[in-house]
Amino acid sequence: MPTMMSMRIPKELSKALDHLAERTERPKSYLVRKALEVYLAEHADYEVALERLHDRSDEVISGAELRRRLAR
Does 59 have pLDDT greater than 90? Answer: no
Predicted local distance difference test score (pLDDT) of residue 53: 87
Does 60 have pLDDT greater than 90? Answer: no
Residue 67 lies in a domain: no
Residue 42 lies in a domain: yes
Contacts of 17 (CB under 8 A, 6+ apart): 9, 28, 31, 32
pLDDT bucket at 2, cuts 50 / 70 / 90: confident
Residue 43 lies in a domain: yes
Structural domain including 21 reads 11-56
Give the model confidence (pLDDT) of 9-47 as tens digits.
999 999 999 999 999 999 999 999 999 999 999 999 999
Residue 41 lies in a domain: yes
For residue 32, what is the enclosing H or E element? helix 28-53
Left if phi > 0, otherwise alpha if psi is -120 to 50, otherwise beta: which for 27? beta
Predicted local distance difference test score (pLDDT) of residue 11: 98
